[in-house]
Structure 1
Amino acid sequence: MSQLRYKIVFDGSLMPDASLDGVKSNLASLFKSDLTRIDSLFGKGPIALKRDLAESEANQYLSVLQRAGARARKEPDLAAALSLLETDEEKAAIATPVEQASQSMDCPKCGHHQRAAAECSACGVIIEKYLARQALLAESAPAQATTRRPETQPSPYMPPRADIDPQAGQVGRLKANSFNGRIGRLRFLAWSLVLMAGFAVVFAALSAVTLVSETLGGILVIAASVGMLVISIQIGVQRLHDMGWTGWLWLLNLVPIVNSLFWIIMLVVPGSAGSNRFGPQPPPNSLAVNILAGLFLLLIAGGLLAMFASGFAILAILGLFFDQLVSGS
C-alpha cells in the first residue's frame, strides 16, 4: 500500500502580526522568485504550493512558510496517495531498468521529470487535458503547429517551484571551542582580541609560577600556548565557514607571506547571505562585539602607523649619517 502523501495549500491568509508586504517579500526570497509571481498567490483562493510530499517534508515546508508569515496548511494529496501507480520503492523492487525508464515521464508543459502519472506534481496540470487542448490549438492554427514547441515558460498563475531553504530565518549557536558553526568578520575580530587578552593575563600569572618552579611554569606555559592555538584555529575555521569555504584553508596561515594576505582576506570577505552548507547564519552582532572589533581595528591601525613612523625615523637617521659622511669627506 502506498504511503500517504501530502500537499501544502495556501489561500492568502497571513499569520498574526504579519504584514502583507513583509510576507510577500519573505516568500519572494524563499522561492527565489519575483514579486509579480508572488502576488498571484494572493486573492485567488486556495492554491497548492507543493505536492506529493512525505509527512516530514510537508511539516518542514509548513514550518518555514509559517515563519515567513504565510498561514499555510498541510492536506493529504489524494491524487498522489490514491494513485494506482506503484511507488518508487515498489517499482525499484520489481522493475528492470528498461521498465523503470518507461514508467517515468516529462511534463509536456513545464518539463518536470517524474514518475508516470495523470497529473504533473510540479505545475499541477492534468496531462491528458493539456495534450488534448494542444491538439485543438494545433488544428485551429496549422501554420503555427509546425513551429510550436511545448511550453517551457511557467504560467504567471503557477505557484513558484523553487525549493525553499529549511533553515531560513534561523541563526546558529555560538561556540568558540568548536570546529563547527559560523562567525562573521566583526565577531572574528572581537573573539581574537579576547583570546589574546586572556592569554596575556594567563601568561603573566604563569610567569609568577615560573619564579617558584621553572619546570612547572614551563609546562603550564606550553599547555596554555597549545590551548590558545587550538581555539585560534577553531575561530578561524568558523570564519571560513561563514564565507562558505572549507576550514582546511586555514592551513594557508602556515605559509610565509601568504598568511598575511590570507588574514586580510578573512577580515574583508563578507559571509554568505542566509544559510550555507556549514549551517545557518550567525546571530547579529551585539554591542560588545562591535566595541571589541572597533578596538581591535584601532590597535591594528596604531600598529601600522607606529611601524611606518619607525621606518621613516630610521630612513631619516640613515640620511643624516650619510650626509655627515659626505660632508666629512
Structure 2
Amino acid sequence: MNQPRYKIVFDGQLMPETTLETVKENLARLFKSDQARIDSLFSGNPVALKRDLGESEADQYLSALQKAGAKVRKELDQAANLSLVPTDDEVQQATQAETSSMSCPKCGHQQAKANECAACGIIIEKYLARQAQLAEQPQAATTASNASPYAPPQANVAERLPEFGELKVFGVNGRIGRVRYLGWLMAMTLCFIPILGAWIGLTALSSTLGMLVIGLLSIAAIVVSVFIGVQRLHDIGWSGWLLLVHLIPVVGSVFALLMLIIPGTQGANRFGPPPPPNSTSVKILAWLFLLIPISGIVAAIAIPQYQGYAERAAEYQEQ
C-alpha cells in the first residue's frame, strides 16, 4: 500500500508574536532567495512551498518554517497520491491501439501507421531525428527566460541552524545574554585598572604623553562597550542603533537599566542563534559587577552614619 504524501502550504499568515519584516528576513535566509521572490509568497493566496513529501519529511519542513515565523500547514498531496500505474486491461488496450494506429509527433493527427503524416505532410522519422538533435543542445538560455518569478523557492528549507552562536567580543555580530553582558563589562573594567596605573606613571614623566594615552584608552573603552551593547540588544531582538538612546539624558539611564532586565528571545531570531550557556567565570564576573554599585550604596549610607557616631562620641568624651 502506498504511503500518503504531503505538501506544505503557506497563505501569508504569521506565527504569534512575529513581525512581517522578521519573517521575510528569516525566509530569505532559509530559502537562500532574493527579496522579490520572498515578497511574492505574501500575496494572500495559498502557495505550495514543497510537494510530494513523506510524513516525517513534511514535519521537518513544517517545524523549520514555523520557527522562522511562517504559519504553514501540512496537507495531503492528492496529486502525488494518485496512482499512475496502468491496469492489465489498460495495457492490453494501449498495445492494440499502438499496433493499429499512430499519432503524428508534430500535429497529433491520428492515422494508420505510415512514414508520412497525412495532415501536415512531415516525414516522421526525419522529424524525430531533428527533435532529438535539438534536445541535445544547451537549454540554459531557454530555461532562464521561461523561469516564472512567482515559482516558490526550491531550496532545502529544513537545513538546521547552529544550536548556539559564536562569541566575538570585538564585533557587532552575534548575541549575548544579560549575565554575559555584565561579566564582559566587569572583565573590561578589570583589564583597564592596571592600564590606568601605568597611565598615572606616564603622566608623572610627561603630561603630554599621559593625555595621549588616556585619550586612546577612552576611545578603546567606548568601542568595546559599543560592541558588547549591540550584541546585548541583538539578543533582545532590537537593532544595535538603539544604543544611541544612551546619549539622551535621563532616558539613557532608564534604557541602560532595561538592557540589564529584559531577557533575550528564546531560540534563533533575525540576528542569529542564541548565545551558548554562561560559564562559571562569566557568572562570577557578573556578580562582581553587581557588587560594585551595591557596595557604593552601602558605603554612602554607612560612612555618614559612622562619622556622626564618631563626632557624638568625641563630644561625649570632652564633656
TM-score, structure 2 as length reference = 0.49
Q: Which has the larger radius of gyration?
A: 2
TM-score (norm 1): 0.48
